[in-house]
Structure 1
Amino acid sequence: MLGRLGLVGGLGATMGAMQALGLMGTALAQDMSGLVPTLGKGKHVVVLGAGIAGLTAAYELEQAGFLVTLLEARTRVGGRAWTVRDGDKIEMTGEDTQTARFSDGIYFNAGPARIPSFHQGLLGYAKKFGVPLEVEVNSSRSAYVMADDGSKIRMRTAINDMRGKIAELLAKAISQGSLDQQLSVADREKLMPFLKAYGDLEEGNVFKGTERSGFGTAPGAGAIFASPSTAMPLDQLLANQRLPMTVFEDNLYMQATMFEPVGGMDRIHAGMDAALRRPALLGAEVQRIRQKSNGVEIVYRDTASDAVETVQGDYLICTIPFPVLAKIDTNFSASLKRTIASVVYDYSNKVAFESPRFWEKEQIYGGISFVGGPTALVWYPSAGLHSERGMLLGCYGSGKSAGEFQKRSIAEQIEFSRGVVDKLHPGHGQDLTNGIAVNWNKIPYSLGPWPNWNAGSANGRQEGHIDTQAFRFLQAPEGRVYFASAALSQTPGWQEGGIQSARTQVLALARRVSAQALVEPARHAA
């Protein structure tokens, strides 16, 4: 077969077929322009899960002419992209059902809540499906870093006073000749003026304070002149355990400009679903997956009627989270089952409140204050500025501490988060109403936010540095079954990763179908 492909289609076709058959590594290209609308004619693909990966796979497969059946166990699309509105139910394993009670226009993004500007896949779908976006204010210099003892520093003060102190120390070291071995004379001459500007240093390269950190005296009418704030002592800056969070917005994933869909993150997913020729079948809980020599068979339960249904297709793209998939009856190989069951998912919690916008009286419009502990941060809303009420996130914690925090009762999680907000904004804990908590490890059909691929590793690095045996193993299809999700990307906590993974698997399937189309006529002729 491969020899005939070489004669007919050349090296490119042969390599594509070898990739499709698992004889070469899967290409990582994301360009979908080569998928012609007739490529999948006569082929039926079943996609499991209508999160961002499943929706992407379904949409791109339909564009390539495949018949697609998209099954989703929940009664909504979006997966982790879950926007909670008034009246919505929050059901978690082992917990009483919570009901959101929010005023009109108030909503809570229980999952992803921001989109970096370089995530062009997700932003592209938002544009394609007419989903309006607004700027997500991811960082506010008016927000705080709060130490364990409750003392707090404005973000602008912490950032700029620390910059001034570092610039002063470096300038002194250069002046004293301490860096003569590292710097040429020319470099020293250029660096000193930069440090003076960088740190806002005064004569003698001394840092005494800067208006960047806030005014000592605010400018006013007439002869009321501005003066810089007095520099905070270095030991006081260093005593704040949250000081490292002053570089939060320098992280590439957190840099401005950030976006959010108007009205909630799920608006993108609803737009994608509406664009499908065959929208997702909701309330379709998969119970059994069978792979056969000539296709796949999926048995699911309609959660509304309790009826059991069966759908058959030529191929399967599965985006079901691995802890959920591990509990489903499949005829996967023993090695695949072991690998799926071995994937450890992390912990992540959010606690949200409705509140009058007291933070805006402190000049905080969006952004994040970092508080440490199990709640980690306080996140202020970007939408609805200057309106009466808003949604305040009082907890967004992940990792080991989040695993411990979720052991508390829901009421305790809410009250603990309220107490942290009150510590940060004294007297305003009582303003927080209608608190709800989401522990992702307890959410049915998710059982976790994302895999901790490097669990137990020495460096703990994840985003962009995932390379485990299980991670690599799950990239490849087993027979007619392909796996796609953000979990199988280098950015498992971001929706863009789900898009990348889905597109990669759609392209792999397309190459396979193309290769078979070249071979099948020869088989029929024989």
Structure 2
Amino acid sequence: MGDWEMGISRRLLLQRIGASGGYGAAYSAMRALGLLGAFAGTAPPALAADAGAGKRVVVLGGGIAGLVSAYELERAGFSVTLLEARERLGGRNWTLRDGSKVEMVGEDTQTVAFSDGLYMNAGPARIPSHHEGLLSYCRKLDVPLEVEINSSRSAYFWAEGAGRLQMRQGVNDTRGYLSELLAKAVSRGALDQDLSVEDKEKLLPFLRQYGDLAPDMSFKGTERSGLAQPPGAADQFARARAPAAFRDLIGHPQIGSTLFEDNINMQATMFQPVGGMDRIVAGFERAIASPLVRGAEVTRIRTQGGRGVQIAYRDRASGAARRVEADYAIITIPLALLARIDNDFDKEVQAAIASVPNDFSNKIGFDAPRFWEKEQIYGGLSFVGGETGLVWYPSNGLHSPRGMLLACYGSGPRAEAFARRPLPEQVAMARHVVGRLHPGHEADLTNPVVVNWSKIPFNLGPWPRWGERGGAQEGHFDSREYRLLNRPHGPAYFAGAHLSQTPGWQEGAVCSAQRTIAALAAQVRDRSLTGG
């Protein structure tokens, strides 16, 4: 049988499958027959300018995934309409400035009262240098970036009852003690089965250098951990501070924070947009010509048996009911909200959407004079554990009179307990921790603003807890539900950071959107195989 005859046979087969089982069955058959290519989520799909000619797409949700979808589809010739329930775009990409309103379910509305020029990134606040997808849009959209100082060795880790320790001392004293222990083990022959004589001859000098050990291979302290006396004029010689006790180091509840910079997503260099994270959103707004409908709360989704989509929404300003019809939909609405919207998805899809619980995350910011800079802290974080998590120092506006100090950033079970507390109590707890880190400066903290993401309308959480559905951690999520929602369902596609391996990062939203756009374009290109 020739290629032409094989093509006709496949076409007839797929037409019959499509006629009896709908597009979903035909789509699965095309995948099984290898007629559709694999979709990558690492770069924008290379789509012809007329790839979507005559096709309409409605994008539900105006976060980063929705904006990437609208931007790319528009450039591929699709007719695009984006619906966003809020009056602002960006989703979790949200920057608070003087006059901003923070509405939370069950709480009084807060009005931000920061000093001129100060801002707080209520959601994402840093971009790793290897998040090339997001950075590529910053370049395309002319969004200026600056370095985000993600770590300062002058900052601290602290815990109630364990005290405060400067990060540089925690890191370098721990390294010194462990180097000494390993050197002793090597010298005593404890590792002779694992190391050759040549290995030992190379390892011991390295350990002496790595841990800054004395000639007898003991750790007696190091200038790397800080100076009791800095070098000065004439005979003012540098003198290292006394080392912390090894027992105190390894017993400190926050000792794990010394590994913070080793996390692949926390390694230098980090970036932030000049003027706030929402400068990225503003870049997309400038670049997208398609309708971006704000205040549009989706109330009903119909996929009409694979014959296109019909979306009903409420205009939140007027209360009027409206409707949009399209050939396809890209749905970026968070799963916890999507589960509440009337839809005609298959029951297994509905169950998958409803099955994933949301996580919790909180931030509290204060307007304050830059007292931390007097302790040589310029950016970076102090780790305090508990319900408030950490204190994050601003990277921008160094040496200016005032800065926005993030006195709480916590996620997970402890954040859930914290969010249940009254807002004044949350503020008091954050203020207390700053006072323990920087004694005497509690009163310098003014104009607090609290963001409990579990209470933010149209989010009700920062990201889903995929780890409870399969996979151990970020980068390794996998479950039947996760895979199901990453597949097209007739003309409906789901996308968003919550359907990526990095749900807490904007890069996840970019990758998910790009993968979805490629899949949708492939469906448009190949649908003729089913007679659709």
TM-score by length of 1: 0.94
Q: 1:140 corresponds to which residue?
A: 152
The Cα of 1:391 is off from its aligned counterpart by: 0.6
**Alignment counterpart, residue 283 of structure 1, candidates 286, 289, 295:** 295
For 1:92-131, what aligned pairs fall within 5 Å after superposition?
92-131=104-143
Confirm or deny that 1:60 pairs with 2:72. Answer: yes
Which one of 253, 264, 275 corresponds to residue 241 of structure 1?
253
- Matched residue SS, 1:254: coil
Aligned to 1:415: 428
Pairs within 5 Å for 1:136-285: 136-149=148-161, 151-285=163-297
- One-letter identity of the residue aligned with 1:162: T
Helix, strand or coil at the partner of 1:278: coil
Alignment of 1:501 onto 2:507: no
Letter in 1 for 2:508: G
1:353 counterpart (366, 370, 381): 366
The amino acid that maps onto 1:284 is A
Instruction: Give the distance between the partners of 1:256 and 1:191, measured in 2 at CA.
Output: 28
Q: Give 3-state SS (helix, strand or coil) of 1:311's partner.
A: strand
Residues 233 and 347 of structure 1: is their aligned pair in 2 closer, same or farther, counting only changes over 3 Å?
same
Alignment partners' CA distance in 2, 1:321 and 1:516 = 29
CA deviation string 1:23-48 (max 9, x = no partner): 43883413435311111000000000
Paired position in structure 2 for 1:313: 326
Moved over 4 A (4+): 3-6, 17-20, 517-520
Amino acid at match of 2:399: H
Partner of 1:22: 28
1:45-67 CA-to-partner distances (Å, cap 9, x unmatched) read 00000101101111111121111
Once residues 25 and 64 of structure 2 are traced to their aligned partners in structure 1, the CA distance between those partners, rounded to angstroms, is 25
d(CA) in 1 for partners of 2:420, 2:228: 46
Aligned partners of 1:330, 1:5: CA distance in 2, in Å?
41
Contact 1:208 1:231 in 2 (8 A): yes
For 2:38 and 2:357, the matched residues in 1 are separated by: 26
Partner residue of 1:334? Answer: 347
Instruction: Return the offset for 1:229.
Output: 2.2
- Asked if 2 retains the 8 angstrom alpha-carbon contact of 1:20 and 1:512, the reply is no
Contact 2:60/2:332 (CA < 8 Å) preserved in 1? Answer: yes
- Alignment match, 1:45: 57
Matching of residues 508-523 of structure 1 within 5 Å:
508-517=519-528
Amino acid at match of 2:451: V
Decide whether the 8 Å contact of 2:469 with 2:479 is kept in 1. Answer: no
Match of 1:378 in 2: 391
Measured after TM superposition, the shift of residue 158 of structure 1 is 0.6
Indicate conservation of the 8 Å contact 1:85/1:100, yes or no. Answer: yes
How many residues are matched?
512
RMSD: 2.1
Q: Partners in 2 of 1:348 and 1:291 — Cα distance?
A: 34
Contact preservation (8 Å) 1:27, 1:504: no
Q: Percent identity?
A: 56
TM-score by length of 2: 0.93
Alpha-carbon distance in 2 for matches of 1:345, 1:508: 27
Q: Residue type of the partner of 2:146? A: E
Looking at structure 1, the residues matched to 348 and 25 of structure 2 have their Cα atoms a distance apart, in angstroms, of 21
Aligned residue in 2 for 1:86: 98
Which residues of structure 2 form unaligned runs of 5+?
15-22
- The structural deviation recorded for 1:6 is 6.2
Residue 424 of structure 1 and its aligned partner are, at CA, apart by: 1.3
Inter-CA distance 20–381: structure 2 relative to 1 (3 Å threshold):
farther
C-alpha distance in 1 between matches for 2:456 and 2:378: 31
Which residue of the partner structure matches residue 406 of structure 1? 419
How far does residue 110 in structure 1 lie from its aligned partner after superposition? 0.6
Determine if contact 2:118/2:403 at 8 Å carries over to the other structure: yes
Give the deviation of 1:22 after TM superposition.
Answer: 3.1
Deviation, structure 1 residue 209: 1.2
CA distances 1:145-195 after superposition (whole Å, capped 9, x unpaired): 112216111100110011011111111111111111111111111111111
Residue identity in the other structure for 1:511: A
Do the aligned partners of 2:45 and 2:514 also contact (CA within 8 Å) in 1? no
- Structure-2 change in CA distance of 1:185 and 1:428 (3 Å): same
Summarize the Cα distance change of 1:470–1:518 in structure 2 as closer, same or farther, 3 Å threshold. closer
Tell me by how many angstroms 1:334 deviates: 1.8
- Contact kept, 8 Å, 2:382 with 2:390, in 1: the verdict is yes
Q: What is the SS of the residue equivalent to 1:454?
A: helix
CA contact (8 A) 1:143 1:368 kept: yes
2:104–2:456 contact (8 Å) kept in structure 1: yes
Q: Distance in 1 between matches of 2:291 and 2:273?
A: 21
Q: Which amino acid aligns with 1:466?
A: F
Contact 1:5–1:518 (8 Å) recurs in 2: no
User: Residues 227 and 347 (structure 1 numbering): CA distance in 2 closer, same or farther, change over 3 Å?
Assistant: same
Post-superposition CA distance 1:432-482 (Å, at most 9, x none)? 11111111111110011101012287xx83201101121111111111100
Contact 1:352 1:394 in 2 (8 A): yes
Q: 1:394 to 1:314 in 2, by over 3 A?
A: same
SS of residue in 2 equivalent to 1:197? helix
Q: Secondary structure at the match of 1:21?
A: helix
Q: How far did 1:519 drift?
A: 6.2
Deviation at 1:18, TM superposition (A): 10
Q: Give the deviation of 1:267 after TM superposition.
A: 0.7
Contact 2:65–2:513 at 8 Å: present in 1 too? yes
| Greater mean deviation of Cα atoms: 473-482 or 224-233 | 224-233
2:451: which partner in 1?
A: 438
Change (3 A) 1:112 1:489: same
What is the DSSP-based 3-state SS (H/G/I as helix, E as strand, rest coil) of the residue aligned with 2:482? helix
Aligned mates of 1:456, 1:66 — CA distance in 2:
35
Are the aligned partners of 1:20 and 1:508 in contact in 2 as well (CA < 8 Å)?
Answer: no
Shift of 1:294: 2.2
- 1:281 Cα deviation after fit: 1.1
Shift of 1:120: 0.3
CA distance, structure 2, for counterparts of residue 19 and residue 254 of structure 1 = 43
Structure 1 unaligned spans of 5+: none
Secondary structure (helix, strand or coil) at the match of 1:252 reads coil
Q: Is the 8 A contact 2:26 2:530 kept in 1?
A: no
